[in-house]
Structure 1
Amino acid sequence: MANSLEKKRSSQLVRDIRRHKSVYLLLLFPLTYYILFRYVPIFNGQIAFRDFMALDGILGSKWIGLKHFKTFTHSYYFWELLRNTLMYSVGKLLFSLPLAIILAITIYECNKPFLRKIVQTLAYLPHFLSWVIMYGILLALLAPGDGIINDVIKLFGGKPLDFLTNTDAFPWIVILSDAWKEMGWSAIIFIAALMGIDPSLFEAALVEGANSWQRVRYITLPSILPVIVIVVLLRLGTILDAGFNQIFMLYSTPVLSVADIIDTWVYRQGLLEFQFGLATAVGLFKGFIGMFLILGSNRLVRRFGGSSLF
């Protein structure tokens, strides 16, 4: 009986695959990508526990246990790196997420299609620019000699400021430039969530005399709250990824105390000094921290009756 039932399920599965073979063929490409570039490299994660020597290979290198993890956590710069990384990650989350939500609601509420398209295009465009180009734009704006902002400061009789080498200004430049670059792209998911709201809710609110702010407060925001929670949970998983490309392009020696993050330190120690084991250990360290943050925050959200990932 059990064998016949199992055979029946297998034949049904084969028929379903044949019926939807085009879908499975499309699925083959992302599966191949994740297998080759995500799951196969997991084997190399053991480099974090070995004194890796390229000539000896992974399995031929000496096993040293948690030495690389201790080297990182006992480093003179550990707490400074952790502080800077969290400062930028949390700062970007606190600035970029509300701005993305506000932009999405503004675009959704706009009644003029032409204006909506212009705003969407201008908001999405910076996302497709590399940080090399963004650095050139920021340099044109903030350069101490002929930057546009410093020209305005000098016009009013002030002294020019070197924003990119100022330890007080640099963190704000990083956080605000990231918000400028990614705000439009982040708003896409919220716009999609807004499109799923039942229009009859807004019609009923209009009949009851609700103004625009009341509709946003009592209908729009509660309707997209589950999406906001999920986005925050996913961002918590990458809380130790403060944006290597951006920091690497913007930072310099004068602001190293507030600009150096875990990823830039790993770049110098792991790649420039060929300490691949140490770099891998730090990567695993970040992964474990992100995993625990996601699991913990997801459990708290689920306990209080909110939307969760699982």
Structure 2
Amino acid sequence: MRRADMAIHLTKESKVLVQGMTGGEGMKHTRRMLAAGTDVVGGVNPRKAGRSVAFDERAVPVFGSVAEGMDATGADVTVVFVPPAFAKAAVTEAADAGIGLAVVITEGIPVHDSVAFLAHARPRGTRVIGPNCPGLITPGQSNAGIIPADIAKPGRIGLVSKSGTLTYQLMYELRDTGFSTCVGIGGDPVVGTTHIDCLAAFQDDPDTDLIVLIGEIGGDAEERAAAYIRDHVTKPVVGYIAGFTAPEGRTMGHAGAIVSGSSGTARAKQEALEAAGVRVGHTPTETAQQVLAVLNDGR
């Protein structure tokens, strides 16, 4: 039987703060997170501290700092919706407060700011997911970010993806099978949580039976993930790589999705994954079919 508290990084026990909750995007997605069952315990805005915001029938308090919110509520997760210019300060503040998980939704953060706040967060024990990511969801338990909660139900597939849109599509394709946790790690050149981090967590999660890995052109993250799968992952992995038709030398969508010469091509990533025993689909629909085939084979 599935234990209700099993997942990676996010469970029904997670208590969530929202930095930037009183802004337009923060308000919209806080309402969606609450509707999905997320325990949103507060927002953070120094200029509006002491107020509360009504979301349907629930009033969520606003705190002046992450530390204040943690002290008052026991929060262990923060979701960051602040504008790019203030993201570095927001994540640095969260790490200094000792929060366990910071989910950075904001896109357009300068890479040097991301490098700085990630270097600040790691030694303080704060895991960062993102930036420029859709967040993560453990269906039926909690949703931290902007992933639509109505396209997933609880199940035994773990999903890790660079692409938000492809996260949603694979969740929809496999909606009748269900997921343990889905993590959108973001497509920027530098991110706080990698494919390998999620592979390791899913490998150790007793309620994840199969892992779906979605990558895209640019960098060598998928090749490194393939080497990790070969040496450390015993559960079946099914993959999909976006960008087979992308032209060289042009950034495609994500800041990290750029091919330079023979480096970072979709073909090279597919070959590396297949050499590690990963089944790789050529389209999202084919990838979902591969997942179902593996599950039906019992392998």
What range is the shorter-chain TM-score in? under 0.3
TM-score (norm: length of structure 1): 0.25
Q: Which has the higher contact order (CA 8 A, sep 6+)?
A: 1
- Structure with the bigger percentage of helix: 1
Q: Which of these two proteins has the greater Rg computed from alpha carbons?
A: 1
- Structure with the bigger percentage of strand: 2
